[in-house]
Amino acid sequence: MTAFFKIMGSGAGPGTPSFFCDCPGCREARENPACVRTRSGAFIAAGQRNILVDTPPDVRAQLIRERITGIDDIFLTHWHYDHFGGLGELEYYVKLARKERLTLYLPPSAVERFAAAFPNLGGIFQVISWEFNRSYLFDGLTVTPLAANHGIETAGFLVATPRARLAYFPDTAGLPADTARLVEGVDWLVCDATFYGENWYPDTHMSAAEAINLGRQVKAGNTVLTHLSIHYSQPVTSRELAAYAAQHPGVSVACDGMAFALPG
Per-residue pLDDT tens digits for 186-236: 999 999 999 998 899 999 999 999 999 999 999 999 999 999 997 788 889
Q: Sort residue 174 into left (φ over 0), alpha (ψ -120 to 50) or beta.
A: left
Q: What is the pLDDT of residue 125?
A: 98
Note whether 104 and 76 are within 8 A (CB).
Answer: yes
Helix (H, G, I), strand (E, B) or coil at 240: helix
Q: What is the pLDDT of residue 230?
A: 79
| Domain 3-257 is found in CATH 3.60.15.10 | yes
Q: Domain map of the chain by residue range? A: 3-257
Q: What is the pLDDT of residue 246?
A: 96
| Intervals of the chain under pLDDT 50 | none
Q: What is the pLDDT of residue 232?
A: 81
Count Cα atoms within 13 angstroms, Cβ side, for 11.
Answer: 28
Q: What is the pLDDT of residue 60?
A: 98
Which residue, 260, 261, 208, 215, is CA-closest to 238?
Answer: 208
- Which DSSP category does 11 fall into? B
Q: Which helix (H) or strand (E) holds 30?
A: helix 24-31
Query: What DSSP string runs through 173-226?
Result: SS--HHHHHHHTT-SEEEEE--BBSS-S-TTT--BHHHHHHHHHHTT-SEEEEE
Q: Hey, what amino acid is at 177? A: A
pTM: 0.96
Q: At what angle do helices 238-246 and 24-31 cross, to 10 degrees?
A: 100
Helix (H, G, I), strand (E, B) or coil at 26: helix
Q: What is the pLDDT of residue 233?
A: 80
Q: What is the pLDDT of residue 264?
A: 87
